Amino acid sequence: MTDKTNVNDKTDAKVPLVELNNLEMNFYKSKGMFRKPQELNALHNINLKIHNGEIVVVVGESGSGKTTLANVIAGLLTPVSGTYKFKGKEIHSMTKEEANVYRSSIQVVQQDSYAALNPMRTMIKSLGDPMLLKKYATKDNLLEKVNEVLEAVDLTPTEHFINKYPHQMSGGQRQRALIARALSMNPELILADEPVSMIDVSLRVSILNLLARLNEERNIAILYITHDLATARYVGKNGRIAVMYLGEIVETGDLQEVLSNPQHPYLRALLTAVPIPNPRLSRKRKELQLNASSELPDISNMPSGC
């Protein structure tokens, strides 16, 4: 792994919000009824820190382990080895009360907003019931609290949305509803997993700006997962980047520095694949010679070297 920069001194002095050390995650692939399942190493030697109010962009193609990493951080998957600390506390040694705080503090914004929202529940139910369960609202002030989170994500006027079902909303509006649901839990970290890949291009910037505003105004840390280097540059312009390849973080550091001077062959290949609108600059760009095919190798039969 190429680490081009350390976290700045101001955040190094603090306990990280999330800290992963030498983390490993395995899955098992069935090979038939009478054959032993094959072990697949989905995450290998993951070392990552996320500090309060920080934006970290995770970049990699499909199958590189980005969503698996997010699911581990969210507590949806249990790694087979390594350590995972939240605010300096190992999650497996947390008390029940500490675990409840941890689960509320980390919220996921999924890629498919239609699948992530219950089609039988209106916005007042989808947003309000978790707030009642966590005691972030009471029956007396529930309507006011739900209106607040809808306003925070620009679903206004709120009375037009509060009783709507997901199918009555556009893709961009549903994505804002997912962000509102995450926001209702008073999160310290939002895991945004490809949040704009399934909505119209014309609406993507507004969603990305919303995430940036929540980061700036509420000091919510953002882990932004994407395969799109253009949105990665936009979201993480003042943050850090972690490049994933076959379950490993192969390069990390300040986003601007990493993308302007990539060290790992995989990142150089990703940057080479991005079209340049200026024909003169495009002709001058050096083509990267790739070995074998451009397809992602099989994680069950890992290649040697880079």
The per-residue pLDDT for range 111-156, each reduced to its tens digit, is: 999 899 999 999 999 999 999 999 999 999 999 999 999 999 999 9
3-state class (DSSP) for residue 95: coil
- Residue 167 CA to residue 124 CA, distance in Å, equals 15
Is pLDDT above 80 for 250? yes
Model confidence band, residue 296 (pLDDT cutoffs 50, 70, 90): low
Of 19, 4, 74, 55, nearest in space to 235 by CA: 55
Residue that the structure tokens 């700045």 belong to: 8
Q: Report whether 123 contacts 163 (CB < 8 A).
A: yes
Residue 293 has what DSSP assignment?
Answer: -
Per-residue pLDDT, averaged over 258-278, amounts to 81
Say yes or no to pLDDT of 8 above 70. no
List of residues 6+ apart from 257 with CB closer than 8 A: 4, 5
Q: How far apart are CA 254 and CA 114, in angstroms?
A: 34
Give domain 16-229's CATH architecture. 3-Layer(aba) Sandwich (3.40)
* CA distance linking residue 293 with residue 272, whole number of Å: 15
